[in-house]
Amino acid sequence: MARKIDRRDVLKGAGTAGVVGLAGCITQNESGGGNGGGGGGGGDGGDDEETEAEGETTEAPDDSESMRTVMHSVLMPLTGDLASLGGPIRDGGTLPVKQLRAAGDMPVEFDQTVEDTQTDPQAGIQAANGLANAGYPTVCGPASSGVNLQVTREVFIPNGMIGCSPSSTSPNVTTLDDDDLIFRTAPSDALQGQVMAQVANEELDNSSASILYVNNDYGQALADSFSQSFADNYSGSVQESVAFEQEQSSYTSPLSTAMNDSPDMLVVIGYPASGIQIFRDFYANYDNETEVLVTDGLVDPTLPDEVGNDMANVYATTPQATGPGQDEFASLYEDEYDRAPGVFNAHAYDASAVCLLANVKAGENDGDVIKEEMRAVANPNDGMEVTPGNLAEGLRAVANGDDVYYQGASSSVDFDENGDMTAVTYAFLQYNTDVEGNVETISTIDFEA
């Protein structure tokens, strides 16, 4: 494991809203789909003003009838516990098609739709079945592991659909019997648990901890990974490990259990909507001297205002976007949405970009055919290097039969045999209301599988 320190502020806001151009005959549904919603990002993430109306069709050039339509979908939590993060992640996932349409002169047309999981497995399954019935072969999403695993088992695998999640981090995704249909641009929590343990011991100098985790696959797997690594690698003691249910009116009882033996540190694994009440209850009963370590699901710049506390005692680990195309992506995202990208936004862009390139290379909207091309367009080869900055050129090259390999915004996007990333970077963050965006990066940690 290599380690490097890179101190800088994150989540700055800049840029101006871009104007999206259209090429070819485009039918889309990017307003949240049949399940409704337009998730937040603290008021920034759910803005669909730049998106064409649901079901709108634009007139095609005279020769467009001979063009093949590339079908792609985005399945994100636009409502529910993860709504504040799901909207901006959705925006990252839809950006490649917006960018390709704006470039004009494309060799294919694009049919892109967005659906809402509502941060709920059953709603996610219903939305995914709608995508399957409509013939969408690839999906950027779902976001949370608790939804992703059930949607994958119930819909994607039986229907031969490609699922490429930008933020589902459960180790259980790696071991799915998925017929090579399931990929992800986010790293496994088996790695993040090790990063958290390292941060808890080496950065925060703590030898004991209690864990408060959301009661689903994401929370359980990450709690287990941290506990094992903290004990085995740093001789740390986990005093209590307490599960909680999402979006409850009070978390005083589970907090009391977790804090009973006065641990050096509290680890909280969950999502923003629940996190608001958790931290309100925490600060009502405990002081700011106890260090709290949260994971990617609770990295939300709106939390301090919602909680009513500067949360300066709260630290976080999260996958960091450090791919070769990160600067290009950040510029594109800011120009389009008039805000800087946040957590997992780059991972969503990469998931959609690879799905689009693989679809064009496959030549048909069939997940069982497209899956054979996912590594062919992403992993290193002798072909043309494609980044967010030249995605349109890369897609044209693929359509002409040329080899390409995608170098992403979140990472190099090199898939292993399980559809996981081979190398990732994590950020160690701290809430800091004195910096723009309320979150500051303290250091970065590199991992290679």
For 379-424, the pLDDT digits (tens) are 999 999 999 999 999 999 999 999 999 999 999 999 999 999 988 8
pTM: 0.77
Q: How many domains, in total, are found in the chain?
A: 2
Is 213 found in the same domain as 180? no
Q: What is the pLDDT of residues 144-200, one digit of tens each?
A: 998 999 999 999 999 999 999 999 988 899 999 999 999 999 998 888 999 999 999
Residue 59, pLDDT > 90, answer: no
Closest CA to 179 of 379, 373, 368, 358: 368
- Grade residue 37 by pLDDT with cuts at 50, 70 and 90: very low
pLDDT value, residue 57 = 29
pLDDT band at 48 (very low <50, low <70, confident <90, very high): very low
Instruction: Indicate if 274 and 328 belong to the same structural domain.
Output: no
Give the pLDDT band (50/70/90) at residue 449: low
- Please say whether the beta carbons of 101 and 22 come within 8 A: yes
Q: The domain containing residue 10 runs over which residues?
A: 3-187+322-421
Residue 18 has pLDDT above 80, yes or no: no
Of residues 19 and 331, the one with the higher pLDDT is: 331
User: Taking 80 as the threshold, does the pLDDT of residue 36 lie above it?
Assistant: no
> Does the bond joining 171 to the residue before it have cis omega, within 30 degrees of 0?
no
Contact assessment for residue 266 and residue 290, using Cβ atoms and an 8 Å cutoff: yes
Strand partners for 267? 211, 293
Would you say residue 49 has pLDDT above 50? no
Q: Does one domain contain both 98 and 172?
A: yes
Cα distances from 373 to residues 132, 351, 398, in angstroms, run: 20, 14, 11
The beta-strand segments (E) located in 281-422 are 291-294, 314-319, 384-386, 404-406
| CA gap 96, 159 in Å, rounded | 25
Task: Write the pLDDT tens digit of every residue in 70-93.
Answer: 999 999 999 998 999 999 999 999
> Which of residues 67 and 35 earns the better pLDDT score?
67
- 388 and 327 within one domain: yes
Q: Are residues 378 and 292 in the same domain?
A: no
216 & 102 share domain:
no
Neighbours of 208 (CB within 10 A): 15
Mean pLDDT of the chain: 86
Task: Name residue, tokens 């704006």.
Answer: 102
Looking at the fold, whether 84 and 32 belong to one and the same domain comes out as yes
Q: CATH number of the domain at 279, please.
A: 3.40.50.2300
Alpha-carbon dihedral sign for residues 415, 420, 423, 429: positive
pLDDT (average), residues 197-213: 97
Question: pLDDT higher for 289 or 184?
Answer: 184
Is 362 found in the same domain as 273?
A: no
- pLDDT for 300-342, tens place per residue? 999 999 999 999 999 999 988 999 999 999 999 999 999 999 9
Mean pLDDT of 348-354: 98
Residues 193 and 299 in one domain: yes
Provide the token pair at 297. 């699901």
Do 429 and 298 lie in a common domain? yes
Asked if residue 160 and residue 56 are part of one domain, the reply reads yes
User: For residue 266, what pLDDT is reported?
Assistant: 98
Of 417 and 47, which is predicted with more confidence?
A: 417
Residue 32 and residue 87 share a domain: yes
Q: Peptide bond preceding 61: is omega within 30 degrees of 0, i.e. cis?
A: no
Q: pLDDT tier at 287 (50, 70, 90 boundaries)?
A: confident
Asked if pLDDT for residue 250 goes beyond 60, the answer is: yes
Q: What is the mean predicted confidence (pLDDT) over 291-306?
A: 94
Q: 52 versus 143: which is more confidently predicted?
A: 143
pLDDT tier at 30, thresholds 50, 70, 90: very low
Tokens of 363: 């030549």
